[in-house]
Structure 1
Amino acid sequence: MDHQLYLGIDVGKTEHHATAITAVGTVVHDKTLPQSEPKIRALLQTLRAEHGAVLVVVDQPKTIGALVIAVAQDLGIDVAYLPGLTMRRVADLHEGQAKTDARDAFIIADTARTLPRTLRGITVAEENIAEPAMLCGFDDDLAAQLTQVRNRLRGFLTQIHPALERILGPRLGHTAVVTLLTRYPSPTRLRSAGRGHVRALLKKHAPRLAERLTEEIFTALAEQTVTVSGTTAAEKIIGRLAQQLAQLCSQRVEIEAEILAVVDAHPLTQVLTSMPGVVVRTAARILTEVVGKNFKDAAHLASYAGIAPVTRRSGSSIRGESPSRRGNKTLKRALFLSAFASINASPASRAYYDRKRAQGKRHNQAIIALARRRTDVLYAMLRDGTFYTEPTPPAVALAA
């Protein structure tokens, strides 16, 4: 569609800045815009009535920019997204060095008018994609908090009893260890409880591990006879951190169940999970990052994910390929982990991985190469809605 007006919006938490430029480059609107549906709706309706077809372009399509997009789509107005990195590069071509909302909004609108190829389309998200996308985002937040709490917990254990940390620290992802530290959050409390109580508590959550872990714990306790200063305060903190860790783990389990319930209903989930190495959780990540976006071919998808190698060449003296530092990090991680998991689940993946290793590639390089190869198959599966079929190994001719 030919647009008569380009509305660039530099989004903000409480208010945006909106700049509208006509097709010939005339600025017809340049004001702040409250983060309010009535105000946004009124502005869009007025601009469309006065100038014709409008293209709304934002620099943040999610979170604080979601309301603008939703209102525009509800009115039937086209919307697009200008990536932040692209915007910063284009900004260098404009006069001035100031960083203001008004300047950013102008640059967004002017870029949409003069460089339409830099824009990314925004489609109306499917409800069964928007919901898992939000749940996955919250799950990412919980995962980050879990890592932070575990690191703090290991830090306190290392400070007061390094030997005990070497036993319990690597196992903080296990419910039995978290429960143990919640009940007995210090070396003194563990010694006072004795082997019997510690073993009994561990058996409730880890029957096979309880006996061995109990012996390892008390062997570690025997290695240190002195009490480090601050141990009493650390005991209180460790107990609280262990409780926080247990709560975060419980929330992740609940969120995972909600994600699986939503994603399992999507028609493409069974297609994705038919591929070795792709479980429902991975399928959720792939769906939320891929569905609604248009990719010309598998190479385009691989480039978007950041798993396509980047060629660097200068004349005839410097040439080579290196891993991309760009791309969608969430999708890249999902494809990387699924490729890694497929090594033990698919003979074809194992054979390809071994071949790359034999060529001298390091482990991560071989996994990235495998992920790139699997992207070709994944693209075809999503495009055609077909299930994965394991490649048939070539027949070996027998000598007569």
Structure 2
Amino acid sequence: MKVFCGIDWASDHHDIALVDTDGQLVARARIEDDAIGLQQLLDLLTEHGDGPASRIPVAIETSRGLLVACLRSTNRPIYAINPLAAARYRERHTITRKKSDHLDAMVLANILRTDAAAHRQLPADSELAQAIAVLARAQQDAVWDRTQAGNKLRSHLREYFASYLAAIQPILGGLCSPVARSLLAAAPTPGRAARLTRPQLRAVLKRAGRQRGIDAEAERLHTALRVPQMHQPPLVEDAMGRQTLTLLRKLDAACTSADELAEAAVESFEQHPDAEIITSFPGLGFLSGARVLAEIGDDRSRFADARALKAYAGAAPVTRASGKSRSVRVRRVKNQRLAAVGYVWAFASLTASPGARAHYDRRRADGDRHIAAQRNLFNRMLGCLHHCLTKRTPYNESIAFPPHPAPVLAVAA
């Protein structure tokens, strides 16, 4: 008897439902989110035919958590069902729109019974690939947090300290640079900044790690921070300076987290056997390569072909046709993290690969806007990446972008 398992996940407990090939409920249970509950689940599966040769597949509405990690270690098929898809399936089983945890577990089990082929299993990635995914995603989150914290601080500084923003504009990294943050910590208000002496500015630059051109930079900052500007009332300006220090601490924490996680992600990525192939592509460094590997994994059976990978990344368009109408649109449902690093990859490859630059220029000449041309280039690069990872061969510029023959002009007789 073939059995399918559905798990309605919650924060502190989980509802289990087992159904057979006829859709009949053969077992149900509620377990706690702990080791005892996990053992109860494994015992329940064993009672209904689960074994090393034939694992009972499991459907659950999440791909993360301790329960999923422990079930993955048993080498069983696990399907992470989108909650929106599960809600649509629920309407097939009840028209009264009733909802319960037990019903949701049965719906998930019946999804596997009827439409398992339409859903993707969790990939069988290696432990190292899963660790890289944790670090790379955390680093990307830290970068987004850093950007948000920087935007909040910049918006606040525009209200009372415009001369500081003008002074740090030439500094590489802008507000997130160590020099800019050290300078703001030393003088969070226009009045205190105007009183900074040249020796104090040199000390700030050295404390931030600056090693060259200290005297010239101190002189530039000394002049820039004394440019006349509009002022808030003194008490208000002092209060806004205190708020600046609070926002600055958040920015410092985000910058430190991003840097430390980037170092850890790169260190783990360098140990992976796919790192050499991924970094052979123009525009992909160790950090961006770690982000790519984190999203595509190292389970080569995950994507049947390059088209599946392109659709997963959102690089392939969506064609909608009905009768005589036909439209080609941008794919909105995609892996947002992979799409984000894809634009960085495509942009960086423009200066690192003559073939990529020529491909981008052709798309622009055909009428594509900048983003559309970059997305098309990312689509091309993903096809090459799928081929190289499958064949275990590094990137080859002449194969990826073969030279186009020069057009032959007809000569009039």
Instruction: State TM-score, norm by structure 1.
Output: 0.89
User: In the alignment, which residue of structure 2 is the partner of 1:255?
Assistant: 261
Query: Following TM superposition, by how much is the alpha carbon of 1:248 offset from its aligned partner in structure 2, in angstroms?
Result: 2.5
Does structure 1 conserve the Cα–Cα contact (< 8 Å) formed by 2:279 and 2:286? yes
Task: Please list the CA deviations of residues 325-381 of structure 1 after superposition, one character each: whole Å capped at 9, or x if unmatched.
Answer: 011111112222111110011000000100111111110000001111111111101
For 1:320 and 1:289, the matched residues in 2 are separated by 29
**Which runs of no fewer than 5 residues in structure 2 stay unpaired?**
none
Q: In structure 2, how many angstroms separate the alpha carbons of the residues matched to 1:78 and 1:233?
A: 58
Q: Where do residues 40-51 of structure 1 align in structure 2 (5 Å cutoff)?
A: 40-51=38-49
The CA deviation string for residues 172-218 of structure 1, in whole angstroms up to 9 with x for no partner, is: 12110011111111111101214553355236545458257516732
User: Which of residues 40, 57, 60 in structure 2 aligns to 1:58?
Assistant: 60
Aligned to 1:393: 403
What's 1:234 paired with?
A: 240
Are the counterparts in 1 of residues 8 and 14 from structure 2 also a CA contact under 8 Å? yes
- Paired with 1:365 and 1:319, the residues of 2 have a C-alpha distance of 19
Query: Mapping of 1:1-400 within 5 angstroms?
Result: 4-52=2-50, 53=54, 54-62=56-64, 64=65, 67-95=66-94, 96-168=96-168, 171-198=174-201, 200-202=203-205, 205-206=209-210, 207-208=212-213, 210=217, 214=221, 217-218=224-225, 221-227=227-233, 230-291=236-297, 292=299, 294-316=302-324, 318-391=325-398, 392-394=402-404, 396=406
Contact kept, 8 Å, 1:282 with 1:338, in 2: the verdict is yes
Query: Residues 41, 70 of structure 1: CA spacing in aligned structure 2 closer, same or farther, 3 A cutoff?
Result: farther
Deviates more, 1:250-259 or 1:135-144: 135-144
Contact 2:306 2:382 in 1 (8 A): yes
Counterpart-to-counterpart distance in 1, 2:140 and 2:15: 30
Instruction: Tell me the CA shift for residue 102 of structure 1.
Output: 2.7
Q: 1:38 to 1:76 in 2, by over 3 A?
A: farther
Question: Which one is further off, 385-394 or 222-231?
Answer: 222-231
Partners of 1:354 and 1:284 in 2: CA distance: 28
Q: Rate the CA distance shift 1:212–1:80 in 2: closer, same or farther, 3 A.
A: farther
Query: How many pairs were matched up?
Result: 393
With the length of structure 2 as denominator, give the TM-score of the two structures: 0.87
Give how far 1:315 is off. 2.6
After superposition, the CA RMSD in angstroms is 2.6
Cα distance change of structure 1 residues 80 and 313 upon mapping to structure 2, 3 Å threshold: closer
Residues 16 and 227 of structure 1: CA distance in aligned 2, closer, same or farther (over 3 Å) = same
Mapped to 1, the partners of 2:407 and 2:317 lie a distance apart of 36
Contact 1:41 1:71 in 2 (8 A): no
The verdict on how the C-alpha distance between 1:74 and 1:164 changes in structure 2, with shifts beyond 3 A counting, is: closer
Q: Distance in 1 between matches of 2:407 and 2:49?
A: 72
CA contact (8 A) 1:86 1:118 kept: no
2:160–2:232 CA contact under 8 A, matched in 1: no
CA contact (8 A) 1:135 1:255 kept: yes
Q: Matches of 1:56 and 1:357 in 2, distance apart?
A: 47
List per-residue Cα deviations over 1:236-289 (Å, max 9, x = no partner): 121232233223322322211111111101111000100101111121112121
- The sequence identity of aligned pairs, in percent, is 26
Cα distance in 1 for residues equivalent to 2:98 and 2:178? 52
